[in-house]
A and B are shown apart, each in its own frame.
Chain A
């Protein structure tokens, strides 16, 4: 079942923060976050594994609440380069972390 992302769209000014949420009705083994710019391939941001720690990369970090089957992506002090569509992908317990069910995406636009 497809995870649900919220919000669907966000408009920010440079330097502002944003949170993108991803929730699933099924038990999750892992949550994967990707960013896709218009006309380009999705690019991997990070993976959060069940029982794992919160991940972070520079000003982008994420958390995974296994009990609530939710993940959140945190973008702090946003930059123009953060603009794009963010997808969360979920994997079941098969261990095949490449077979993902992606959410519908959250479009982020960062303005100067």
Chain B
């Protein structure tokens, strides 16, 4: 399978704990996005990488959230001191570079976080 993969698929944690999600994009895609989706809502943009550079971050994103893409391949999203309001599906998406970009985002199946 050469699609976008995310790990873990499900995470249950207690409030105050740290969690980390990993995303492996499609190998030739140099753009990577993180979105968050809560029940009954559309995905909400969190942050965006082009290769290893984090180029945009949502102003709504708390300082407890940090994302990295150290070698321009996989990415991690860490949430520190989790709160119940962080419970959501965290979606990763990738797309090709500008010259080949048709505008299509290829989404992974997401990592579902439940904070107790």
Q: Are B42 and A98 in contact, CB atoms less than 8 angstroms apart?
A: no
Cβ A43 vs Cβ B102 within 8 A = no
Given contacts A41-B110, A98-B93, contact A89 B56 (CB under 8 A): no
CB pair B95–A103 under 8 Å, yes or no, is no
Contact A98 B31 (CB under 8 A): yes
| Complex partner residue of B42 from A41, A44, A102, CB under 8 angstroms | A102
Q: List residues 19-48 of chain B with CB under 8 A from any CB of chain A.
A: 31, 33, 40-45, 48
User: Can you name the residue of chain B whose Cβ is closest to the Cβ of A5?
Assistant: B42
Inter-chain contact A104/B110, CB cutoff 8 Å: no
Q: Give the complex CA separation of A42 and B89 in angstroms.
A: 12
CA A23 to CA B49, docked complex, whole Å: 28
Q: Which of B31, B45, B102 contacts A100 (CB 8 A)?
A: B45
Q: How many residues of A contact B (CB 8 A)?
A: 23
B43 and A102 contacting across the interface, CB-CB below 8 Å: yes
Q: How many A-B residue pairs have CB under 8 A?
A: 59
Contact (Cβ within 8 A) B107 A47: no
What residue of chain B has the Cβ atom nearest to residue A91's Cβ? B103
Q: Decide: A98 near B48, CB < 8 A? Known: A32-B103, A104-B40, A105-B40.
A: yes
Residue of B nearest to A97 (CB): B103
User: Is A96 touching B48 in the complex (CB atoms < 8 A)?
Assistant: yes
> How distant is B9 from chain A, measured CB to nearest CB, in Å?
10
Chain B residue with Cβ nearest A101 = B45
Does residue A72 face the partner (Cβ distance < 8 Å to B)? no
Contact B56 A96 (CB under 8 A): yes
A–B pairs, 11, beta carbons within 8 Å: A41-B91, A42-B43, A87-B42, A98-B31, A98-B48, A98-B93, A98-B103, A98-B105, A99-B56, A100-B105, A104-B41
Other than A2-B42, A97-B103, A105-B42, give 6 A-B pairs with Cβ distance below 8 A. Answer: A32-B105, A40-B109, A47-B102, A87-B43, A96-B48, A98-B105
